[in-house]
Chain A
Amino acid sequence: MDRLNLEKYFETEKQRQFGTDFFQDAEHYEVWDEIDFSNLEEVDGENTFEIKAEDMIYYARGCLDDNPLMVDEEYAKNSPYGELLPHPLFVTQIIFWCVGVRGRGNWIRTPGARNPGQYMEYYEPFRVGEVIHLKLRPYDRFVKRGKYYLQYKIDAYNQDNVKKCTCISTLILPRTREDIRKFLRGQRGLAD
């Protein structure tokens, strides 16, 4: 996908660091029918995420939101909040960063995955300067109308272990590793 030259859209330090190729290491992505649901132990995300103002601002801009509380640092500092507010789905950026390429939960990168809907609970807003880490564990796996759903519970904490947010992350996935390989070859690997 590097041939698409997405670099021209990069604005932040993390955007310049994060790999854009979701085919890279896809052979190591967790697969629907291989995840061990007999072991529901929480695991750490691969990376931590130090929140910078630019991370919050460019998430909001990326979803075409121009609310000054989320995109104008000076305006937000002079508001009753006294600081930038995150878009509620800013956690999406944090999750992709923290899961990384090789970490548990890397099935969220699976080429061909479909998003049926998501669930999130918020306890404290994310703040500039915090260092966020994730705890992940398998939550559910089910078949519905011929589609293969996978869910992980993902909790986000700051550097003081204050829980900020819980997500039940859900995707419809290719069932087997061979189905993923079909997608890697540009063939269809999902049932209708």
Chain B
Amino acid sequence: MHKIQFDSIEPGYQLPSFTRSVSQEVFWKYAVASFDYNPVHCDPDWVRTAQPFGIPQTVAHGMMTMSFMMSVVTNWAYPAMLKITKTESKFVKPVLPGWTITCKGVVSEKHVICPGKNYVVIDVRAENQDGELVGLSRTEVQFPD
């Protein structure tokens, strides 16, 4: 646990990155964790012909990619007792088994309101092992008094 002072954070501040490799087994475990058993994530046989993404492969749950992006924020904010108040994400490219996803976060905005309501916006980019963008998120993190 550590304290982060609002005054010490400026736009451009970079958070530690979060990297995870994914596989079909990871997709299955995330399905069990989230209760999202959609066959586009879980059933390699079905997706070979159904191809919702136009490819004959399963793809990662968007919510798992979003979870990775959120972990960049929680690993920084939770030990400092900062509060996540809002988040939104956009999925740019489906994530395939065998890929390694790296999420990088940067403070993009600093909102100086008043003690207890000050907050920063953290933009996170998720990229695959080739540097291709797969997801984006924008998360607001509020500072305590």
Contact = CB atoms under 8 A, between A and B. Distances in A.
Contacts of B86: 120-122
For the residues of B in contact with A, the DSSP-based class is helix
A115 B61 contact: yes
Given A92-B63, A115-B63, A188 B43 contact: no
Nearest to A18: B35
B133 interface: no
A192 interface: yes
Nearest to B83: A122
B79 A69 contact: yes
A93 interface: yes
A1 B37 contact: yes
Q: Contact residue range for chain B?
A: 35 or more
Interface residues of A, number: 57
Contacts of B26: 64
Contacts of B73: 88
B39 A87 contact: no
A154 interface: no
Interface string B28-58: 1111111111111011001001111110000
B88 interface: yes
B62 A4 contact: no
B38 A89 contact: no
- A-B pairs, top 6 by smallest CB distance, nearest first, are A62-B33, A115-B62, A63-B67, A96-B35, A117-B90, A112-B52
Interface of B: 1, 20, 26, 28-40, 42-43, 46, 49-54, 61-64, 66-68, 70-71, 73-75, 78-79, 81, 83-91
15 contacts: A6-B32, A9-B32, A59-B33, A62-B30, A63-B64, A63-B71, A88-B87, A89-B70, A93-B33, A96-B35, A110-B38, A118-B63, A120-B86, A122-B83, A122-B84
